[in-house]
Amino acid sequence: MSGVPIYATTGQRIWYYGFRVICGLIFFFLIAPILVIIPLSFNAQDFFTFTPEMLAFDPEGYSTKHYEDFFSNSDWQLALRNSLKIAPVATLISVSLGTLAAIGLSQSHVPFRRGIMAILISPMIVPLIISATGMYFFYSNPYIPTPFGKIELPFTLTGTYIGVVLAHAALGIPFVIITVTATLVGFDRSLTRAAANMGAGPVTTFFKVQMPLILPGVVSGGLFAFITSFDEVVVVLFVGSAGQKTLPWQMFTGLREQISPTILAVATILIAVSVVLLFVVELLRRRSERLRGITPS
């Protein structure tokens, strides 16, 4: 479909351009709410809408005071630090265990493959509120079930850093599994056989041959896991305590209680982060396809 042919009727022309206008409006609907936040975050007033000064492009109407607030307010700083402490560790757990399992799952003969896959993907499907409820119950009083009754463990995970990290790692795993198995689908098995043939052990083969080739998939899976943890509110709200307050949690309470324009500054920073992530993932996808010998689209 490249332009309207010259023989098109008026109706066809109207339809062609009308359709494009409709699509444009939908794209606008998708992107405008995100873009509108950016100028609003530079508002000199504590308003959530454009002030007359802003509309007149008067420099007086703009300021970076909400950003200054974000970087000086101890609540926000604590939240940022917590987020940065929780997300990388959770990501590390999901990526290391997830990659290993994805390699296992991509072998040619795996018993119960479908069932295992269903279990591993389920944290993505089960509504967060249900995961959070279950984790809240179980982590506050962990036990080992045996046929003779429960053996209660003498510690609690709710309100602890470890509890939140475990929960977030579990939520990130489906993303790692999906991206890494997708990368492994195109992986040429003869390469590992060739490496083995030349005398490399399984560990050497993995790190020298397989890992570099699937690395883009692993990294983008890791990015998904990272953003899942970094962006997660419901579970941390239930499993964590005030000491584990993360950035989204702080935003959530901010939006619910005293809505402060600092949220818009934080939101703008997060938009910048997601733009960077989006481009990194896109680059990795292309690189991965090139490595696997597929022409990137």
Partner 1 sequence: MAEDMLAADGRPLKASLNRALRRQKLRALMLIAPLLLFIMVSFVMPIFDMLFRSVENQIVSETLPRTTLALQDWDATAAQLPDDPVFEAMYTDLVLAAEYKSHTRLGSRLNYEMTGISSLFRKSGRAVGRFDTDRYTDAFQEADPAYADPAQWAEWMADDEIRAELPRTADAYDGWAKMLVSVEDELPVEEEPWDFVYTALYADAQAGADLPISVDLSGVEPVSLQAQFEDIDEDWLDPDVWLTIKRYSPDYTSGYFLNSVDLTKGADGIEARPENEQIYITLFIRTMIMSMSIMGMCVLLGYPIAWLLANLTDRTANMLMILVLLPFWTSLLVRTSAWKVLLQQEGVINDILVWIGLVADNDRLQMINNQTGTIIAMTHILLPFMILPLYSVMKTIPPSYLRAAKSLGATNWTAFWRVYFPQSVPGIGAGCILVFILAIGYYITPELVGGTKGVFISNRIAYHISSSLNWGLAAALGTILLVVVMLLYWVYDKIVGIDNVKLGG
Least distance between partner 1 and beta carbon 123 (Å): 5
- Residues in binding contact with partner 1, number by CB under 8 A: 94
Site residues for partner 1, 127-146, by CB under 8 A, read 127-131, 133-139, 145
d(CA 218, CA 99): 7
Using CB under 8 A as the binding rule, whether residue 116 contacts partner 1 is answered as: yes
Using CB under 8 A as the binding rule, whether residue 271 contacts partner 1 is answered as: yes
Judged by CB under 8 A, the stretch of 69-77, 188-196, 208-216, 263-271 that binds partner 1 is: 263-271
Judged by CB under 8 A, the stretch of 62-70, 71-79, 101-109, 187-195 that binds partner 1 is: 101-109
End-to-end CA distance of the chain: 18
Using CB under 8 A as the binding rule, whether residue 203 contacts partner 1 is answered as: no
d(CA 183, CA 289): 9
Q: Are 91 and 254 in contact (CB under 8 A)?
A: no
Q: Which of 6, 30, 203, 242 binds partner 1 (CB under 8 A)?
A: 30
Please spell the DSSP secondary structure of 223-245, one letter per residue.
HHHHHHHHT--HHHHHH--GGG-
Using CB under 8 A as the binding rule, whether residue 231 contacts partner 1 is answered as: yes
Using CB under 8 A as the binding rule, whether residue 253 contacts partner 1 is answered as: no
Site residues for partner 1, 146-185, by CB under 8 A, read 166-167, 169-170, 173, 175, 178-179, 181-182
Whose tokens are 């023989």? That residue is 7
Give 101's Cβ-side CA count (13 Å radius): 19
Q: How far is CA 126 from the centre of its chain?
A: 16
